[in-house]
Amino acid sequence: MARVLCASVFILLLSILSVGFLRMGQAQKTWCVAKPSSSEATLLENINYACSKVDCSILQRGGSCYAPDNVVNHASIAMNLYYQSQGRNSWNCQFKNSGLVTMSDPSYGGCTYS
């Protein structure tokens, strides 16, 4: 009886620790950015798609992420907004193989990637 009780307690503790470690592993923040080698046409499609699903007002002239005003920058921000809104799943950063998931925060100046 004592062995069964000890084994049950051990399994319970192992389960609790495993869940804790999984949560810690999932806590790692990730972002989605555009591959610089992607075509301008693809990146423009990405901007249009992402901004049809999420609020991209930070990309408008005067917005906190408007500058630098180039397609790669704007696509990265739009793609990341979409990626974050969808739960940071790797498949939400595919964008026809033009997106990259990064663990390095791409925020700069006054532009904060969420």
Domain containing 43 — which CATH number?
A: 1.20.58.1040
| pLDDT above 50: residue 16 | no
Whether 85 is covered by a domain: the verdict is yes
C-alpha distances out from residue 26 to 16, 29, 30, 86, 87, Å: 15, 8, 10, 15, 11
Domain that residue 83 falls in: 29-102
Copy the structure tokens of residue 83.
Answer: 């990626």
17-64 tens-digit pLDDT: 444 443 444 568 999 999 999 999 999 999 999 999 999 999 999 999
| pLDDT above 90: residue 96 | yes
Whether 1 is covered by a domain: the verdict is no
Whether 93 is covered by a domain: the verdict is yes
Element containing residue 76 per DSSP (H, E): helix 71-85
Copy the structure tokens of residue 21.
Answer: 């470690």
Whether 42 is covered by a domain: the verdict is yes
How many percent of the chain have pLDDT more than 70? 76
Whether 34 is covered by a domain: the verdict is yes
pTM, two decimal places: 0.77
Q: For 99, phi and psi rounded to 5 degrees?
A: -115, 155
- In this prediction, residue 33 carries a pLDDT of 98
- In this prediction, residue 3 carries a pLDDT of 52
- In this prediction, residue 26 carries a pLDDT of 53
Domain count, the chain: 1
- In this prediction, residue 114 carries a pLDDT of 86
Whether 8 is covered by a domain: the verdict is no
Question: How far is the C-alpha of 74 from the C-alpha of 46, rounded, in Å?
Answer: 10
